[in-house]
């Protein structure tokens, strides 16, 4: 049952924590882990950026996979970096027999994540961590965002991660830096998890299959839980060369990175708790005006303001066609569209209009056998 029990107790705990944060009496310690392989210059750029954004002395763990010496020298022998970070190194890089070609790198990545998380939680004893990779830059309020959402993650068992990323966050579809949302989709790319989730996942981590992020999106791992993500992203990738050979790079460069500091610890985020969020979402969706021409809404031909609209899709292919036309990500993972909540994509337009790209029933289960047949069409 995903509905929160004993909500008054949960809200009281949340308000107590929020008040402590607002008065600066309590700021949770959340280390940032940077995963790297052999891109010394990328790592240097990422660390330089982190040093500018984070308070001096904030714990930064750099985990290197492999034995590229330039990377190891940067994080252990260059005092500009070694004095501000803690370095760990994974040199055990065996992969299952028979794995060859382009697939090899994804096995290494999955095993590197296991190595890093094992050290962070099981050896160092941290309670939570933010994971980024060595080709990422962050927003000025990156740490504030995660510190303010950590109480939600701790108290709401229907949430299993917080991400800084918005897959659909093109400038024309993301207007408000204060808005946060829930998604059934696991985004990654700058995300926070707690030790309790690691304890749940580590015994079955996909060491033998790789593709750890797609594995996270499978129903057996997600268990109906959501991730929090911002309307305007708090992380951005500049990696044109990497494991995926720059897949989606041109698109990813267009995504908007937040530039203003939002003091989330002073904002009531209780709207993100499951019942509050879900009931408000369903209510808005039900009241939204059904349209037959989504381009007219996106271009705001009627010059409307503060209006909710919805456009229905009826299959994977139909969704892909709509998304391609709108210039957003088209794919589904484990039956869920990127940033989707109950199959619905939310695009915040200019003039505070919102367009919901929605299945006819927001409760539609995209993992059922009938829906799976649509994947083949």
Q: Sign of torsion, CA 183 189 193 195?
A: positive
Give the integer Cα–Cα distance in Å for 188 and 241. Answer: 18
Give the integer Cα–Cα distance in Å for 293 and 295. Answer: 5
- The secondary structure of 100-155 as a DSSP string is -GGGHHHHHHHHHHHHHHIIIIIIS--SEEEEEETTEEE-TTHHHHHHHHHHHHHH
Are the beta carbons of 259 and 140 closer than 8 angstroms?
A: yes
For the record, the structure tokens of 105 come out as 């790198």
CA distances from 86 to 79, 114, 132, 133 (A): 12, 18, 15, 15
Is 213 considered catalytic here?
Answer: yes
Q: State how beta strands 86-90 and 60-65 pair.
A: parallel
For the record, the structure tokens of 254 come out as 């267009």
Exactly one of 65, 122, 213, 321 is catalytic; name it. Answer: 213
Please report, to the nearest 10 degrees, the dihedral formed by the alpha carbons of residues 100, 105, 108, 114 taken in order. Answer: -130
For the record, the structure tokens of 252 come out as 């990813």
Residues near 268 by Cβ (< 8 Å), separated by ≥ 6? 18
Report the chain's terminal Cα–Cα distance, integer Å.
33
Beta-ladder partners of 61: 33, 86
Residues catalogued as catalytic? 213
């Amino acid at each position: 049952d995903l509905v929160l029990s004993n909500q008054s107790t949960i809200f009281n705990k949340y308000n107590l924590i929020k008040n402590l944060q607002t008065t600066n009496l309590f700021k949770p310690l959340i280390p940032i882990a940077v995963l790297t392989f052999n891109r010394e210059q990328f790592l240097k750029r990422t660390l330089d950026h982190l040093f500018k954004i984070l308070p001096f002395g904030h714990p930064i763990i750099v985990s290197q996979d492999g034995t590229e010496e330039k990377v190891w020298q940067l994080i252990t022998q260059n005092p500009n970096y070694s004095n501000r970070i803690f370095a760990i190194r994974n040199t055990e890089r065996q992969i299952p027999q028979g794995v060859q070609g382009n697939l090899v790198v994804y096995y290494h990545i999955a095993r590197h994540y296991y190595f890093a998380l094992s050290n962070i939680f099981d050896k160092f004893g941290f309670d939570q961590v933010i994971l980024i990779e060595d080709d990422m830059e962050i927003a000025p309020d990156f740490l504030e965002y995660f510190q303010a959402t950590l109480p939600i993650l701790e108290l709401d068992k229907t949430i299993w991660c917080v991400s800084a990323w918005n897959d659909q966050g093109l400038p024309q579809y993301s207007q408000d830096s204060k808005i946060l949302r829930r998604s059934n989709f696991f985004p990654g790319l700058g995300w926070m998890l707690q030790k309790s989730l690691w304890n749940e996942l580590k015994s079955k981590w996909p060491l033998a299959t790789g593709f750890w992020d797609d594995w996270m999106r499978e129903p057996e791992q997600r268990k109906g839980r959501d991730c929090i993500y911002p309307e305007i992203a708090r992380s951005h990738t500049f990696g044109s060369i990497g494991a995926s050979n720059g897949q989606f790079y041109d698109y990813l460069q267009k995504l908007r990175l937040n530039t203003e500091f939002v003091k989330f610890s002073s904002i009531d985020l209780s709207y993100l708790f499951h019942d509050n969020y879900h009931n408000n979402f369903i209510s808005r969706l039900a009241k939204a005006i059904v349209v037959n021409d989504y381009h007219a809404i996106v271009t705001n031909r009627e010059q409307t303001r503060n209006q909710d609209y919805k456009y229905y899709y009826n299959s994977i292919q139909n969704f892909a066609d709509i998304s391609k036309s709108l210039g957003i990500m088209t794919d589904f993972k484990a039956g869920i569209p990127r940033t989707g909540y109950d199959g619905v994509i939310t695009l915040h337009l200019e003039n505070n209009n919102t367009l919901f790209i929605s299945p006819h029933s927001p409760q539609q289960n995209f993992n059922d056998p009938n829906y799976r047949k649509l994947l083949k069409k």
